[in-house]
Amino acid sequence: MSSILNGQTHDIPPDWADEPLLFLLREHFGLTGAKFGCGVGICGACTIIVDGVATRSCITRAGNVEGLNVRTIEGLAEADILHPVQQAWLDHGVPQCGYCQAGQIMAAVALLEQVRDPSAEDVDAAMDANLCRCGTYPRIRAAVLSAAERV
Ligand code: FES
């Protein structure tokens, strides 16, 4: 059993198949960007991208991504060059505590891969399901719209 993880093929050990994908990523592969938040797929802190779709890794069975293309925030930058969404996040000083932000960024990347020129309403609708207890929503909106001009 294997999947493509951040561009490289990796085996998924059989004893991990029934575990949440989030735990496989964090505990087996050491990719700790995606966070455990609510654990029931509501808050979005665990958001990653599977075959181009923003996906809650806490409620995704690890075995279900066999053969699929899994991307985490660790795979966004190319060498020292940040992904345009990451750069926009820095430019707009988006994070506060930071806990939700990897999930926010992955949701934004998935949006911009599907909608190249989103309106503010498109951004709000796409990002609505990713919760931020610090209320960084206005900066998230500004950063996504800014990133849309660079991707
Ligand atoms: Fe603190 Fe979003 S920056 S929860």
pLDDT per residue rounded down to tens, the chain (151 residues): 889 999 999 999 999 999 999 999 999 999 999 999 999 999 999 999 999 999 999 999 999 999 999 999 999 999 999 999 999 999 999 999 999 999 999 999 999 999 999 999 999 999 999 999 999 999 999 999 999 998 8
Of the candidates 50, 52, 37, the residue with the CA atom closest to the CA atom of residue 102: 37
Distance (Å) from CA 18 to ligand 1 centroid = 29
Instruction: Dig out the tokens for 150 from the structure.
Output: 């660079």
- Whether residue 98 has its Cβ less than 6 Å from ligand 1: yes
Ligand 1 atom, smallest distance to 134 CA: 1
Half-sphere exposure for 92 (CA within 13 Å, toward CB): 22
- Whether residue 134 has its Cβ less than 6 Å from ligand 1: yes
Distance CA 20, CA 28 (A): 11
Residue 1 confidence (pLDDT): 82
Distance CA 92, CA 143 (A): 6
